[in-house]
Amino acid sequence: MAEEIGKRVLDKGWLAARSTEVHLTGVELTTTHPPTSDHPPWMQAVVPGTVLATLVKNKLVPDPFYGLENQAILDIGDSGREYYTFWFFTTFECKLSMNQHADLNFRAINYSGEVYLNGHNVVLPKGMFRRHSIDITNILNPNSENLLAVLIYPPDHPGKIPPEGGQGGDHEIGKDVAAQYVEGWDWMAPIRDRNTGIWDEVSLSVTGPVKIVDPHLVSTFFDNYTRAYLHTTVELVNKSNSVVDCSVKIQVGTELEGDIFLVEHLQTQHLSIPAGSNILYTLPELFFYKPNLWWPNGMGKQSLYNVEITVDVEDHGESDSWSQHFGFRKIESHIDIDTGGRLFKVNGEPIFIRGGNWILSDGLLRLSKKRYKADIKFHADMNFNMMRCWGGGIAERPDFYHYCDIYGLLVWQEFWITGDVDGRGVPVSNPNGPLDHDLFLLCARDTVKLLRNHPSLALWVGGNEQVPPDDINTALKNDLQLHPYFERPANCKHSVKEIFPIFRDPSEYLDGTRIYIQGSMWDGFANGKGDFTDGPYEIQYPENFFKDDFYNYGFNPEVGSVGMPVAATIRATMPREGWQIPLFNTMPNGYVEEVPNPIWEYHTYIPYSKPGKVHDQILPYGTPKDLDDFCLKAQLVNYIQYRALLEGWTSRMWSKYTGVLIWKTQNPWTGLRGQFYDHLHEQTAGFYGCRCAAEPIHVQLNLMTYLIEVVNTTSEDLSDVAIEVSVWDLEGACQYYEVFDKLTVPSKRTMPTFEMKYPKSENPKPVYFLLLKLYKMSDYEILSRNFYWLHLPGGDYKLLEPYKKRQIPLKITSLTFIRGSSYEVRMHIENTSKKPDSRSLLQSNNNSDAPLWLDREKKQKQSLFQKVLKNFSPKSNGVRVAEIDGTETGVAFFLQLSVHASKKDKKDGEDTRILPVHYSDNYFSLVPGEVMTVTLNFEVSEGITPRVMINGWNYQSGYTVV
């Protein structure tokens, strides 16, 4: 029987061994002496992955992400390259029929290698970011398994790690076309093998005589996006030694529901391809009337079409096929005249950028679709709309981009240049980039072909805080120049037939649809001139972000702060000596210096104080007693810090700023700075501060002016909306209540409304809670909810410490849906402590809308209960009600949900958390009588029974509620 046409991923059954311990040649390994896993030095390998990932898997080295264990692993700078030069081996079956051809594909290796297949040898040339495809048709064993051995060599210049560490070590890695973070950074320990290995997908592709290579899809629009065209150019390779007549078919459709597929276009073209030749073939454009557009997160749906291209060869049948999800969208950008910042438009609509800097998912390149999906969804959950792939990391993989397409994250993709390694640093690094400029450009062009069809890809950038060397920069500018159409307005009235005879079809360009910016601080980013005007990277007073002089330029590509994880993560990733909290040393100038333990220092902890600039932001809550207390108070600061950062930027949307990218969203290892979720996939409270601040419609308090502002980033005006303002004290009394109604908020606008007067009133409380709600007046639907804890000027939060003992009752109604290993839990959480009396509200505030508020709360609770009953089905495990007793009235403060595995034989200190979990909200607070709906989504391993727990400021011991 013939092999099935298509791609087969080879990710199972790989073995690995250190080359110096293997005394056989590649020919012998793939003919007479194939290795087995039960014969040392061979071991099970991680492919895709790295040498170090394989060694960790086999427990031959300690986990480099745990405690100080990375220091116990031999660094390649000390061992020499041979120590991390490894063989990888696997077998596969493939039996070709007449006129079939097979290619062995490596989507990426690091850094060079030799392939042996059934005794035949092929060299894999250098470069971390290039694909390799080997025609193996004539060297396959037709009647038996095929033996494959790959010898992988580390980067040519792995460098040494100076005793003081530093940004990119001794910078030697910059001489190669490879990731630069591997020599260590101020947020990352060195990767000992420099990521040597087969770090991306290995596959076998079987075709007929003609193979499809790198199709390019481009959409163009006319008449204000009512008319669209799909342009397609494809490379066709005739692998046979004779002319072939073939037909190229393109099919475009959408998935309606389940297995139902709607075909919108089907077109076939006939052509002949000379023997042994490669041709570029441009298909006639396909016309779409009012296609469903792809929008970034928060602007609309991420509509995707499935494009499938097949080639049928005469007298053979189907020869090859290719498919790709494709989004109809147009991305434009220019330097905004008013702000000097780069302004992005998608489908003609300006988009205010709120996003983050991304390094990579895992420092050992243990990349997977499952992990990528969680990573990208986390960013969408935070209401972000852009991710910047930093230049010291990697060219991100197609799986990363697939989920950015799904969840609507625009991507800024940088090439592999950083100022620290390519022109600056200590010692001063080589400004001329990698030694082999042609190799850099080959990898760059191949990366463009790999990623260019993804709608989420928004722009290419030459380097981080540095411009590539002149010849590379000039070549990239030429290669990535825009097609003339993409320099025209989208509402062009001309027809496609009038425009494109003048210019080449846009799909014939290498890209042609996205801008190229030479560096991360040029042309509308930072001050636009390459000066160091990004940052800062430390703790701030929350009100600082609202000040006129906090940041002077329109688009900040990097501004960073703290990122302490929860205590459970510290215990899971560090030995007991790493559980010691920092010492708080008071300095002569009155500021406090945090002194972390050596393990935290190694894991690049960033303190919550900046002596001389910012007083410690944890101490206003009281001196922490232990790890749990420290991490809980750190979460309070995390939430306030990042919400204020984004609210400060959004407060000046378009008037001063066009966007901001936070440094950084996550860590590729167990670091302790600049993150919204840790390497184990547990979110910090900063995650939810961002989620709150970046919602498309948002109500917020300007911490400098105390004006209440409404943010509307959507394309529609808001009309007939109201803001409800309530202030609550620590006794559970509503001290201030006011409703501002009949408001209209224009589209794409931040609008100041009214001043929050409570602090200026008589006898204000030293610590108080502020709840803002923006809602529709027609049906009381809440559009935005924002909860603050505040103190009077010059005060602190120490009164919150005794507030922990206040017993606030809760009622939790839940419904759980189980689909295989996937769980969805819908929870309605109510603070059942006594509500304020409506008469007292009327008397104290003289506001006739107060009873309206109480009626709305009642209606909402009825509505929530009706939804619970409506959603009840045999697929669920039924409605459950849990109550937490309490005798006092007050705000249920800083509630946190978590999911754990139920274990009867739980060991002391064992981490039972189930991660990741996607929460619709977390670290939230409820005023008396208030109800909130929270949804949890997660997966569990077979045989595990999950339980949901709730903790909080008033619920320190935790309660199992589901």
**CA atoms of 537 and 502, how far apart (whole Å):** 49
Tell me which amino acid residue 858 is: K
**CA atoms of 959 and 592, how far apart (whole Å):** 36
Query: Is the pLDDT at 849 greater than 90, yes or no?
Result: no
Query: Is the pLDDT at 286 greater than 60, yes or no?
Result: yes
| pLDDT for position 846 | 36
**DSSP letter string over 315-382?**
TTEEEEEEEEEE-B--EEEEE-TTTSSEEEEETTEEE-EEEEEE--S-TT----HHHHHHHHHHHHHT
Q: Which stretch of DSSP H or E encloses residue 592?
A: strand 592-595
pLDDT 10s digits, 873-904: 445 668 999 999 999 999 999 999 999 999 87
Burial tier of 45 (Cβ tally within 10 Å: 0-12, 13-18, 19+): buried
**CA atoms of 923 and 107, how far apart (whole Å):** 41
Distance of CA 592 to the CA centre of its chain: 34
Burial tier of 942 (Cβ tally within 10 Å: 0-12, 13-18, 19+): exposed
**CA atoms of 895 and 276, how far apart (whole Å):** 67
Beta partners for 412? 388, 459
**CA atoms of 572 and 911, how far apart (whole Å):** 6
| pLDDT for position 496 | 61
Q: Which stretch of DSSP H or E encloses residue 439?
A: helix 437-451
φ and ψ at residue 461, rounded to 5 degrees: -130, 135
pLDDT 10s digits, 11-51: 999 999 999 999 999 999 999 999 998 899 999 999 999 99
- Strands ordered across the beta sheet of 876-884: 876-884, 810-819, 822-831, 931-939, 917-919
Q: Which spans in 528-597 are helix H? A: 567-573
| pLDDT for position 497 | 63
pLDDT 10s digits, 601-622: 999 999 999 999 999 999 999 9
Q: What is the mean pLDDT of residues 617-634?
A: 98
φ and ψ at residue 929, rounded to 5 degrees: 80, -5
**DSSP letter string over 874-914?**
TTEEEEEEEEE-----S-EEEEEEEEEE--TTPPTT---B-
pLDDT 10s digits, 740-780: 999 999 999 999 999 998 988 778 999 999 999 999 999 99
Contact 328, 219 (CB under 8 A): yes
pLDDT 10s digits, 132-186: 999 999 999 988 899 999 999 999 999 999 988 889 999 999 999 999 999 999 9
Query: Is the pLDDT at 266 greater than 80, yes or no?
Result: yes
**CA atoms of 18 and 87, how far apart (whole Å):** 6
Query: Is the pLDDT at 491 greater than 80, yes or no?
Result: no
Query: Is the pLDDT at 641 greater than 70, yes or no?
Result: yes
As given in the structure block, the two tokens for residue 332 are: 């434009």
Query: Is the pLDDT at 850 greater than 90, yes or no?
Result: no
Q: Which one of 183, 558, 647, 830 is the catalytic residue?
A: 558
Whole-number Cα distances in Å, 842 to 668, 735, 740: 54, 12, 15
- How are beta strands 86-92 and 15-18 bridged, if at all? antiparallel
Among 149, 38, 41, 29, residue whose Cα is nearest residue 89: 149
Among 540, 542, 796, 771, residue whose Cα is nearest residue 644: 542
Residue 801 bears catalytic tag: no
Angle between helix axes 850-871 and 838-845 (nearest 10 degrees) is: 140
The mean pLDDT of the chain is 93
| pLDDT for position 843 | 36
**CA atoms of 703 and 867, how far apart (whole Å):** 37
Among 259, 201, 182, 231, residue whose Cα is nearest residue 402: 201
- Which band of pLDDT confidence, cut at 50, 70 and 90, is reported for residue 836? low
> How many residues are given for the chain?
962
Task: Compute the CA torsion angle 378, 382, 385, 389 (nearest 10 deg).
Answer: -50
Q: Which one of 3, 465, 647, 738 is the catalytic residue?
A: 465
Question: How is residue 464 annotated by DSSP?
Answer: B
Contact 808, 890 (CB under 8 A): yes
CB neighbours of residue 786 within 10 Å: 19
Query: Is the pLDDT at 959 greater than 80, yes or no?
Result: yes
Query: Is the pLDDT at 208 greater than 80, yes or no?
Result: yes
SS3 209: coil
pLDDT 10s digits, 509-554: 999 999 999 999 999 999 999 999 999 999 999 999 999 999 999 9
**CA atoms of 830 and 881, how far apart (whole Å):** 11
62-71, 158-167, 375-384, 404-413: least confidently modelled range: 158-167
Tell me which amino acid residue 587 is: M
Residue 762 bears catalytic tag: no
| pLDDT for position 425 | 82
- Which band of pLDDT confidence, cut at 50, 70 and 90, is reported for residue 841? very low
pLDDT 10s digits, 83-108: 999 999 999 999 999 899 999 999 99
Q: What share of the chain is helix, strand, coil (3-state, %, to 5)?
A: 20, 35, 45
Beta partners for 952? 955
| pLDDT for position 840 | 42
Higher pLDDT, 919 or 263: 919
Contact 786, 692 (CB under 8 A): yes
Query: Is the pLDDT at 494 greater than 70, yes or no?
Result: no
As given in the structure block, the two tokens for residue 888 are: 């006092």
Among 587, 576, 582, 546, residue whose Cα is nearest residue 564: 582
Among 6, 412, 447, residue whose Cα is nearest residue 214: 447
- Which band of pLDDT confidence, cut at 50, 70 and 90, is reported for residue 270? very high
| pLDDT for position 926 | 98
